[in-house]
């Protein structure tokens, strides 16, 4: 049985079909990349899996349970946690407090939550900034904090929405290494990335969206050779070059 099984997921915004009958699955411990040009529907798809948007059609199963239309809190408690493309720490709280918020999903004990938060902060390389206010962190550290807070909820599946966006090449390499370490902890990862070069080397499998539809799926090597994928990305590169 797949960890996450998605059947024909559809989302409309008025007349626009942002996701059209997208099916896919993620197995336990797998790293799956979700790529596609701007407006392809990646964030919308994520938002439905995490319970932030209600689908207009289709079903989502997690560990065999139908979680379609459930609240983000319910889905998080079941073991799916997402990060946001635009990082959203509690700016006036300390780094430690931010991560304790995640840990409180699984424990009511402040002592326990603190211990777990400290462990996660050690793992994510933020242990020396425990008492910093979140607003004082660099973008790269805010992204680490976002990851730490998500990890503190003890997910089985982590949805990462463009965690590398806005990072320098060195910070990107560090983020990739952190993702590898997260995977080693047995957590499955579903990664949205705009930049193909980042997601291809770490993903076991890649799903490609374009215009709200799934246009390809396979190993990174298979997908990179797919004519439809090349075409959609060439269009994107023209766009980037001209923009
Ligand atoms: N809340 C919304 N209301 C109306 N239209 C929306 C909404 N969210 C997304 N859309 C539209 O749905 C389409 C898919 O958007 P989405 O953000 O899912 O794409 P994306 O692949 O994540 O893009 P990007 O790489 O730019 O983040 C776009 O045409 C977008 O304008």
- Cβ distance 232 to 210 under 8 Å? yes
pLDDT of res. 235: 62
Which protein residue has the closest C-alpha to ligand 1 atom 31? Answer: 39
Q: Ligand 1 site: residues with CB under 6 angstroms?
A: 13, 16, 18, 36, 38-44, 194
ipTM value of the model?
A: 0.95
Three-class DSSP category at 145: helix
Q: How many angstroms does the Cα of residue 193 sit away from the middle of ligand 1?
A: 14
Question: How far apart are alpha carbons 117 and 112 in whole angstroms?
Answer: 8
pLDDT of res. 85: 67
Question: How far apart are alpha carbons 150 and 205 in whole angstroms?
Answer: 23
| Residue 57 β-bridge partners | 10
Q: How many angstroms does the Cα of residue 67 sit away from the middle of ligand 1?
A: 23
Q: How many angstroms does the Cα of residue 37 sit away from the middle of ligand 1?
A: 11
pLDDT in tens, 112-125: 999 999 999 999 99
DSSP 81-131: EE--SS----TTSBHHHHHHHHHTTT-S-HHHHHHHHHHHHHHTT-GGGTT
Work out the mean pLDDT of the chain and round it to a whole number: 91
Residue in 39, 195, 236 to alter for ligand 1 test, most ligand atoms within 8 A of Cβ: 39
Residue stretches of the chain with pLDDT short of 50: 238-243
Question: How far apart are alpha carbons 184 and 29 in whole angstroms?
Answer: 8
Give the predicted TM-score (pTM) of the model. 0.90
pLDDT of res. 12: 98
- Cβ distance 191 to 160 under 8 Å? yes
Q: Which atom of ligand 1 is nearest to the CA of 212?
A: 14
């Amino acid at each position: 049985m797949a960890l996450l099984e998605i059947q024909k997921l559809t989302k409309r915004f008025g007349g626009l079909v942002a996701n059209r009958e997208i099916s896919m699955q993620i197995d336990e411990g797998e790293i799956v990349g979700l790529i596609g040009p701007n407006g392809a529907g990646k964030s919308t798809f994520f938002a439905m899996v995490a319970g932030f948007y209600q689908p207009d059609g289709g079903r989502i199963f997690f560990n065999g349970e139908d979680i379609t239309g459930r609240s983000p809190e319910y889905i998080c408690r079941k073991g799916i946690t997402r990060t946001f493309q635009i990082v959203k720490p509690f700016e006036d709280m300390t780094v430690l407090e931010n991560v304790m918020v995640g840990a409180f999903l699984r424990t009511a004990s402040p002592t326990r939550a603190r211990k777990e938060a400290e462990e996660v902060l050690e793992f994510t390389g933020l242990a020396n900034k425990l008492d910093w206010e979140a607003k004082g962190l660099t973008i790269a550290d805010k992204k680490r904090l976002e990851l730490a807070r998500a990890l503190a909820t003890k997910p089985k599946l982590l949805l990462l929405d463009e965690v590398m966006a806005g990072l320098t090449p060195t910070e990107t390499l560090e983020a990739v290494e952190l993702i590898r370490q997260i995977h080693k902890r047995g957590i499955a990862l579903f990664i949205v990335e705009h930049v193909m070069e980042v997601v291809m080397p770490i993903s076991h499998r890649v799903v490609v969206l374009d215009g709200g539809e799934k246009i390809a799926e396979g190993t990174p090597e298979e997908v990179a050779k797919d004519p439809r994928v090349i075409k959609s990305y060439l269009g994107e590169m023209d766009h980037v070059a001209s923009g």
